[in-house]
Amino acid sequence: MNKKLPPLNALKAFESAARHLNFTKAAEDLFVTQAAVSHQIKLLEDFLGASLFHRRNRLLELTELGAQYFYEVQPLLEQIALATDKIRQQSSRQILTISVPQTFGMHWLVPRLADFHEKYPEVEVRIKGVDQDEGLLGKETDVAIYYGKGIGKVWNLSV
């Protein structure tokens, strides 16, 4: 993308100011000062080479170009916000890596994963099928399932 884009903060300030038709309310919306909103609007107007607002005493209204720009930019900013939320939700998924002997995993664990996923859709389960001799615990393993004779009081289980 070689096209020159305006600064994102200026677009956010413009969208909020245009929606509220008030720099002070836009500042509250964005958790910045009214002067910061005014500065961002000035940057955007300089970038575009056009006035976006008519300022009359305490009254603020969009110019014709400002209204056109708001009409086109506002839905795009909303799309960016939605796409960002979607990615953040996906990336915040919890990953549970289970090391398990291959036969046990295939015949017992895998058939039960659908029920687990219904109850905990935010958890992505990754199964590492390993041979018992390989050692099931590793840096990438959250849970390891062993089978065999227990070792008495040495076992320490925490959930």
Residue 159 has a pLDDT of: 44
- Beta-carbon contacts of 79 under 8 Å, excluding residues fewer than 6 positions away, are none
Q: What is the dihedral of CA 127, 132, 138, 144, to 10 degrees?
A: 50
Output the six-digit token pair for 57: 């005493």
Residue 87 has a pLDDT of: 83
Residue 75 has a pLDDT of: 96
Give 8-90's CATH code, choosing from 3.40.50.300, 1.10.10.10, 2.40.128.720, 3.50.50.60.
1.10.10.10
Give 94-154's CATH code, choosing from 3.40.50.720, 3.40.50.11260, 3.40.630.10, 3.40.190.10.
3.40.190.10
Is the overall model pTM greater than 0.85, yes or no?
A: no
Pure H helices in 7-138: 8-20, 23-30, 34-48, 64-91, 102-104, 113-119
Burial 82-102 (b: 16+ CB within 10 A, else e): eeeeeeeeeeeeeeebbbbbe
Are the beta carbons of 64 and 51 closer than 8 angstroms? no
Are the beta carbons of 138 and 107 closer than 8 angstroms? no
Each of the 159 residues of the chain gets a pLDDT tens digit; together they read: 668 999 999 999 999 999 999 999 999 999 899 999 999 999 999 999 999 999 888 899 999 999 999 999 999 999 999 998 888 777 666 888 888 888 888 888 888 888 888 888 888 888 887 776 555 566 678 888 877 666 555 555 544
